[in-house]
Amino acid sequence: MFTLIDKNFDFMGLRKAAMMVSLVLIVISIGSLATQKLNFGIDFTGGSVIEIGYDEAVDLQPIRKVLESQGFDDAVVQHFGSAKEVLIRLVPREGQDKAELSTQIILALESASSHSFDVRRVDFVGPQVGEELTEDGGLAVLYALIAIFIYIFFRFEYRFSIGAVAALIHDVTITLGVFSILQLDFDLSVLAALLAVIGYSLNDTIVVFDRIRENFRKIRKKTSLEITNASINQTISRTLMTSLTTLLVLTSLFFLGGEVIHAFSLALIIGVLVGTYSSIYVATTAALALGIDRTDLLVPEPDSEELSRP
């Protein structure tokens, strides 16, 4: 038969060690973001995008070698849609006309390739557009955090809202830190993944907070720490099952989805792992540290005067 406290693993007993680990990871992430910064992709820095369609499937490695021989070591080459379509991304070069740049690439590929191809499109993203995308992307993340704070403030209690936002900032910072440390391309798909991570992590945190609120109202002879621990034990099965099934899909996308969604799936994998951890050890630990108590969550009982009213 189900009981309110049916598991006994002491999650909160590890909260101090967990917070030290989080602090170290955040310091490393911020340090890397301050020194190495992010390796922004063409979506943010500006540059040329050339889409080429071949008459048969092609290997990307020979194309990369041709571009390297022309001095384009930083070119990003990836399949786009199918193995017959190739997308080439080039960072802008000072003093070089974008039309000349695309012509140089096409001529180099024609002379070195035995496969016939046609140029589907040539686009150019200016640096001004890149700056606007950077600013708008940062604002999107900030607005999401503010909206979440307001929602949880009214849905639960302000200590919970602070804990939830702290967990989300923790998740975003560490995810960005990994991309900065490894100097992985940060483009619009990764930004979209970050916003998805915020939603995923918040969902996990809400589940835990909801159970904590229920147990605060039902369990009267336990401390806040014991009730929080019991609540995590009751929701851990659901949390792990959700995370594992999500990771199964994301891992498949990472290894089988191709380079187009490689960075996107990696950002989500990191975010799911960190978000699962933070919903247990960051959000709830922050709420406890702020002094959350069962009296903060009890529904106020009507007084005798209110009861006597018709």
What CATH number did the domain enclosing 82 receive?
3.30.70.3400
The answer on 23 and 58 residing in a single domain is no
- Domain total of the chain: 2
> 47-54 and 82-90 as β-strands: parallel, antiparallel, unpaired?
antiparallel
Same domain, 24 and 139: yes
97 pLDDT band, cuts 50/70/90, is low
List C-alpha distances in Å: 120 to 50, 63, 64, 179: 8, 17, 19, 31
Q: Please, which residues bridge with residue 79 across strands?
A: 86
Has residue 285 been placed in a domain? Answer: yes
Which is more confident, 275 or 119? Answer: 275
Q: How many residues does the chain have?
A: 310
Domain end among 69, 96, 125: 125
- Whole-angstrom distance, CA of residue 268 vs CA of residue 196: 8
What is the Cβ-side half-sphere exposure of residue 154, based on CA atoms within 13 angstroms? Answer: 5
Residues 189 and 291 in one domain: yes
Q: 193 in a domain, yes or no?
A: yes
The pLDDT of 131-152, averaged and rounded, is 80
Task: Please check whether residues 148 and 233 belong to one and the same domain.
Answer: yes
Asked if residue 98 and residue 191 are part of one domain, the reply reads no
Q: Which two tokens stand for residue 148?
A: 């979440």
Q: Do residues 103 and 28 share a domain?
A: no
Q: What is the pLDDT of residue 281?
A: 92
Summarize pLDDT for 191-228 with one digit per residue, the tens. 889 988 888 888 888 889 889 888 888 887 788 888 89
Residues whose CB falls within 8 Å of the CB of residue 247, separated by 6 or more in sequence, listed in order? 269, 272, 273
Q: What is the reported pLDDT for 309?
A: 54
In CATH, what number is assigned to the domain containing residue 189? 1.20.1640.10
% of residues, the chain, pLDDT over 70: 87
Q: Which of 52, 105, 43 is nearest to 83 (CA)?
A: 52
pLDDT band at 297 (very low <50, low <70, confident <90, very high): low
Q: What separation in angstroms does the CA of 236 have from each of 20, 177, 207, 219, 233?
A: 22, 27, 10, 19, 5
In angstroms, the CA 213 to CA 191 distance is: 33
In whole angstroms, what is the distance from residue 215 CA to residue 224 CA? 10
Instruction: Specify the pLDDT at position 26.
Output: 96
**Whether the predicted pLDDT of 242 surpasses 70:** yes
DSSP for 214-274 reads HHHHH--SS-HHHHHHHHHHHHHHHHHHHHHHHHHHHHHHHHHS-GGGHHHHHHHHHHHHH
What pTM, to 2 d.p., does this model score?
Answer: 0.79
Confidence of residue 95 (pLDDT cuts 50, 70, 90): low
Tokens representing residue 109 in the block: 């590929």
Is the confidence at residue 51, as pLDDT, over 80? Answer: yes
Cα-based distances in Å from 307 to 192, 302, 304:
51, 7, 5
Residue position matching structure tokens 């369990």: 219
Answer with the one of 80, 107, 125 that is the final residue of a domain. Answer: 125
d(Cα 105, Cα 101) in Å, to the nearest integer? Answer: 6
Residues 173 and 177: their CA atoms lie apart, in Å, by 6
Where among 67, 95, 125 does a domain terminate?
A: 125
pLDDT at site 1: 37
Assess whether pLDDT exceeds 90 at residue 126: no
Residue 307 lies in a domain: no
In the structure encoding, which two tokens stand for residue 186, read together?
Answer: 């940060």
| DSSP state at residue 117 | E
Higher pLDDT, 65 or 115: 65
Q: pLDDT of 174-196, one tens digit each?
A: 999 999 999 888 888 898 899 88
Mean pLDDT of 284-296: 82
